[in-house]
Structure 1
Amino acid sequence: MEEVTYGLCHRVRSMCAEALTALRPGPFADAVGAVAERLAGDTLVVAVGGRLNAGKSTLVNALLGQRLAPTGGTETTLVSAWFRSYHMNRVWVHFNDGRSPASIPSRVGGGVPQSLQYDHSEVSHLVVEAANKSIDRAFALMDTPGRDAVSALDDYSMASIRKADALILAMPQPGEGDAAALREFQETMRGSRLSAANVLGVLTRIDQISEDTDLEEVRREADKVAGRSADRMTGLVAEVIPVATKLAETARCERLTEQHLYALGILAAADRDTLEDMLFDHEDFLSVAPDTVPVDPGMRKELLDLLAIYGIRQAVDAIDGGARDLSALRDALCERSGINRLLERVQQRLVTGADALRADAAMAALRTAAELAGAAEQEVAGRLRGLLRELGRHPAMRRVELAEAAQAQAAGMLPLPDQNSGQLHMLMAGVTDAQRVGLPEDASPEELRRRIGELVDEWKMLEASLPRRARLHATVVREMFEALYFSLL
C-alpha cells in the first residue's frame, strides 16, 4: 500500500493550535478545536451513502473484509457507524447532547449489534472497534443510513456524510434518480466539496443488470451501464464501478468453507445442460433431485444465501478455470466481483490525494469558524484567514479548486459545451497526466505537451466568452492545464 503523507493537514493543525492559544472558550474556539480534532488522525474518512436498500452495508462489509455492518432491517441501520481497528471487539455510542460515549457489547464475532438500548434520535454515531488490523490501514469507513429510510433521518444522513472526506455512492439502479440524489447531497452540503474529485459511484447489483448466462456478456453490459451512468453524472462522480456486492462480501469476508468448495466442485463436474437448468433461477436450483446432482438441499440453500445464482455461476466458472483450493477460489471471486477494482480506484483516486482533500475540507471549516469570531477575536480571525489564503496557493490545493468548477458546471452555473465538459471531468478524474488530457498511457512527453498546449489555448478562448462568475472557474481549469504543461518541461 502506497504511503500517504499529510504535510498540508499538519500545517492546518498548526494553524488551529496557534489560534487556540490566543482564544478564550466560546463558539469560535469550539469550532477551531473541532477542526483540530478532526485532523488528529492521519486517516482519510470515506463515507458510503445512497438510497434505501442500495446495498451500502453489504458493500461496507466487503470493503472492510469483515462482516461488521448490519445488513438486515434493524434499528441500527438508522445510525451512522464508523469502523476502526482495535485489539478487541466493542462498540462506542456517541450522543448528540455531548455526554461521554457509552461502551456496549458488539455483536457476537464483532460488529454493530442488532439493537441499541438508546433511542436512535439520541445517538450521534457509533464507533465500531474490531480486532482487524487491516480495517483503517489506508482509510476509515463510515456506513450511513439510507436516504429516505425514514424521512426525518434525511438531515441526519447529510450530517453524517458531511463529516467524511470522500464519498462512495451506492447505486442499485443507475439513472437520473441517482444523479438527482447526488445533486441533492451537494445542494444540502454547499461548501462540502463533493464532486468528481472525491466521489466514486458503485453499481451494487450487477447480477441484476442482465439475464444473459454468459458471464463475460454480463460484465460487458455492466461496464456499459456504469459508463452511461458516469456520463450522466459528469463532474459529480469520478467513475462508476460495477460490483456484485453479495459475491464481494462472501469472498472478502472469507465466508466460504471447504464444504462449500466441495459442493461447488460437484456442480462444476455436473453435466452442462443439467447445470444450466439448475442455474435458471433459485427455485430450479433447489428443486433438482439430489440423485441427479449430489448436493443436498441444505447445502444448496447455503450456497444461494452466500453467492446467489450469479455468484454460483462465477464460482463454477472459476473452478473450471483452475481455482481448485479455497484460497484460489476466494481470490478469483474477489476479482470477478469487482471489489478489487473498487479498492484499487479508492487508493488511486482518493487515498493518494487524501492530504489535499482533508486539508481543503478543514480549511473550509476554518473559514466558517472565523465568521463566529467576536469583536475581541477579530485579530486572531484575520491572522487565520491570512494563513488560509497563503496555504490555498499551494500547488496541491489547486487541484481541489477544480471541485468548485465541477459543482458549478453540474449546477448549470458554468455553461460548457460537451467537449469542454468532458475535458474538465478528465482533468479531475484522471489518475495519470495522460488520462487527465485524454491521451493513451503510452503518449510521449512531446505528445502530452502538444495536447496540453492545445487545451490551454482552447480554454483561454472559452474564458473570454463566459460571464464573469463562470470565467473564474474556467480560469482555474486553464491554470491547471498550464501547471501540467510546465511540470513536463
Structure 2
Amino acid sequence: MSTSISAGVADLLQDALAVYSDDPVAVASLQAYATRLSEPLRVAVAGMVKAGKSTLLNAIIGEEIAPTDTGECTRIVTWYRYGHTPRITLYPAVGEPRILPFKRVDGRLVFVLGGSRAEDVERLVVEWPSQGLRELTLIDTPGIASLSGDVSARSTEFLTPADAPSEADAIIYLMRHLHASDLRFLESFRDTEAGRSGTVNALAVLSRADEIGAGRIDSLLSAGDIAERYRRDHSLRKLALGVVPVAGLLAQSARSMRQADFESLRLLSGLDRSERERLLLSTDRFIRATVPEGLSAEARASLLERYGLFGIRLGVVLIRSGFDEPTRLAHELARRSGLDPLLDLVARQFQARAEALKARTALVGLENLLRSVPREGAGGLAVGLERVQANAHEFRELRLLATIRTTGIPLSNELAEEAERLIGGWGAAPGIRVGLAPETPPEEILAEARSYLKRWRTVAENPLTDRAALETCRVVTRSCEGIVAEFSALQLQRQ
C-alpha cells in the first residue's frame, strides 16, 4: 500500500476521533484501529477440535510455545506476538490484566493460570522473542464445532463478531476433510455486503496430511492430490485463496528438533530395510521392540509422540539418503512436511498485502461506527471514507478478487485466470503477478508487465468485450501500470 493511502486512512481516523471525542467507547475503538495500522498483521489459526491448530502454530513460530494438550488453555483465545523478553498476560473478562508465571516441561511451555477458569478469561497474550513473530501476530482459537457450545462460541464471537470487524486480518483454517461446518464458518468470515473482513482472506490447510496415506512415505503426495481437488471445488474456491496439505506434527517437531531426536533416528537408520519396515508396521510393534540396541523405551515413546510413524519413517529414509547432520535433516523434514509451501502462501497472500488488509479493517470499523452511531458533523467522514474506498487501487483489487472468486466475471476462463493473477490473487509480488519467479531480473518483469498492459488495453478497447467486464479491465490495467511504473523507475535509477 502506498504511503499516501496509509497516511490517508490514519488521517481519517484522527478526524473521526475529533468528531466522537465525547464518546469513550467510540474513542477506544478508533484508537485501536489506528494502533492496528502500525502493528504486524494479525493471522488467526482456526478449525474444528483436534484439527492440529496449536501444533501448526508452533511449527510456524519455530518453537513449542503453544500448549497442544487438552487442558484449559486450548479453550482460550491466545495471542502470540513478538516481545524482547518472554511474558504472558492474562486478560480476564472482568478485572485488570495480570502477568502469569510459566514453566517448561520436557522442553514445552506450560501456562500457569493460577486458578482462573477458562470461561472467565477473555484472552491470553504471549510475548515471545521469536523471529517468526516479528511480522505476524498469530492467534490460536478454540475448536469450532466443539461438543461444548461455550468453547465454539469463543472462536465464532472472536473471529466473526456481529457488530464489528474481525480482530483477525486473515485466517489459516485447518480441516481434516471438507465438511459443511467448515464451509459455513469460512462463509461467515468472508467479506459480506457490510464488509466485515475485507475480501477473500483465508487459506485452508489440509491438516494431519500424513494420516491420509496411513503414515506411508508418499502420504503427502496423496494429500496433495486431495488438496488440489479441494482447491478447485467451487464451494471452497470462493472462500479460500489456496489449500495446502501439511503434516503438522512433523512440521512442529522438525522446527524444534533436539539432538536426542536425531540420535534416535540415526540408530534406527542402521537397521536393514526389512527389519526396519517390520518395526514400523504399527505403534505397538515399535514401542515393544528391543532393536536397535541402545534405543530405550523412553526414547521410542518420545519419537512416536513428537514425529509419529510417518515422521520416523521419513527421517530414517532421509538419514540413509545423506541427510546425516541434525540441521540439514531438520530443514528437509520441515520442507517435506508441507510447511514451506504454507509459509510461502502466507507471505505471498497475506504479508505482501498486509497494509491493505489492515487499512481495510480500519475503514470497515469506521463505516460501522458511522452507521450505528450517527453523529452531527460526521458528513465529512462519510465522504472521506467513500473517497478512500473508491480511489485506493489496493481496495479495488481486493474487491475484484472477491468477485472473481464468488460470482465470476464475464470474460473467458483464460482471461479470468489471468486477471486473478495480475491483481495479486496468486501472490502480490510483481514477479508472481506477471507469471515469473520472484527472483526474475527486474528488466524481464518490466518487459512482461508491458506485454500484459498492452494486452489488457486491447481487451478493454475491443467492442466485443462485455460492458460489465470493463471495470475488470480497468482494475487489471491499473495493476499492470503500477508494475511498469515501479520497474521503470528502478531502471532509471540504475542508469
Aligned match of 2:174? 170
Indicate which of 99, 106, 115 corresponds to 1:103.
99
Q: What is the Cα deviation at residue 111 of structure 1?
A: 4.6
Aligned position for 1:118: 116
Query: How far 1:115 moved relative to its partner?
Result: 4.3
Paired amino acid for 1:310: F
Question: Contact (CA 8 Å) 1:202, 1:242: kept in 2 or not?
Answer: yes
**Residue 179 of structure 1: CA displacement?**
2.9
Residues 92 and 126, structure 1, Cα contact 8 Å, conserved in 2 = yes
Is residue 89–residue 110 contact of structure 1 (8 Å, CA) maintained in 2? Answer: no
Could you say which residue in structure 2 is the equivalent of 1:480?
475
TM-score with structure 1 setting the length: 0.83
Q: Which shows bigger deviation, 397-406 or 245-254? A: 397-406
CA distance in 2, matches of 1:281, 1:158: 38
For 2:247, the aligned partner's letter is A
- Out of 49, 64, 68, the residue aligned to residue 65 of structure 2 is 68
Instruction: Tell me, yes or no, if structure 1 residue 92 matches structure 2 residue 89.
Output: yes
CA–CA distance in structure 1, aligned partners of residues 356 and 270 of structure 2: 53
Cα offsets for 1:276-329 (capped at 9, x unmatched): 111222122223332x66523222111111111110112112212222222122
Secondary structure of 2:79's partner?
strand
> Which residue of structure 2 lines up, in the alignment, with residue 263 of structure 1?
264
Q: 1:169 to 1:415 in 2, by over 3 A?
A: farther
Partner SS state of residue 429, structure 1: coil
Shift in Å, 1:165: 0.7
- Quick one: which amino acid aligns to residue 230 of structure 2? S
Residue 486 to residue 75, structure 1, CA distance change in 2 (3 Å): same
Equivalent in 36, 39, 62 of residue 38 of structure 1: 36
Moved more, 417-426 or 103-112: 417-426
Equivalence for 1:397: 395
* CA deviation map 1:414-438 (0-9, x unaligned): 8999778756654552225676577
1:29 — aligned with what? 27
Cα deviation for residue 175 of structure 1 reads 5.2
Alpha-carbon spacing, 1:298–1:33, altered in 2? closer, same or farther (3 Å) = closer
Query: What SS does the corresponding residue of 1:238 show, helix, strand or coil?
Result: coil
CA distance in 1, matches of 2:470, 2:221: 38
Structure 2 unmatched runs, 5+: 160-165, 485-495
Matched, 1:142 2:143: no
User: 1 CA distance for matches of 2:246 and 2:192?
Assistant: 28
Residue 183 of structure 2 aligns with which residue? 179
| C-alpha spacing 1:339/1:458, structure 2 compared with 1 (3 Å) | farther
**Matching residue's letter, 2:202:** V
3-state SS of the aligned residue for 1:371?
helix
Q: Determine the structure 2 residue equivalent to 1:246.
A: 249
Instruction: Report the Cα distance in structure 1 between the residues aligned to 2:175 and 2:226, rounded to whole angstroms.
Output: 11
- Report SS of the residue matched to 2:185: helix
Please state how far the C-alpha of 1:118 moved relative to its aligned partner. Answer: 2.7
Q: Report the counterpart of residue 297 of structure 1 in structure 2.
A: 297
Query: 1:237-274: CA deviations, max 9, x gaps?
Result: 111111111011111123x22x3222211211211111
1:237 paired to 2:240? yes
Aligned counterparts of 1:460 and 1:365: Cα–Cα separation in 2 = 41
Q: What do the CA deviations read for 1:57-107 (whole angstroms, capped 9, x no partner)?
A: 10111111122211111122111111123343332122334x431222124
Q: TM-score, normalised by structure 2?
A: 0.82
Letter paired with 1:483 = R
**1:31 and 1:339 mapped to 2: Cα distance?**
35
Q: Measured at CA, do residues 364 and 406 of structure 1 come closer, stay the same or move farther in structure 2, by a change above 3 Å?
A: farther
1:357 and 1:64 mapped to 2: Cα distance? 22
What's the offset of the Cα at 1:168?
0.6
Corresponding residue for residue 13 of structure 1? 10
Mapped pair 1:209 → 2:212:
yes
Q: CA offset at residue 119 of structure 1?
A: 3.4
Q: Where does the alignment leave 5 or more consecutive residues of structure 1 unmatched?
A: 465-473
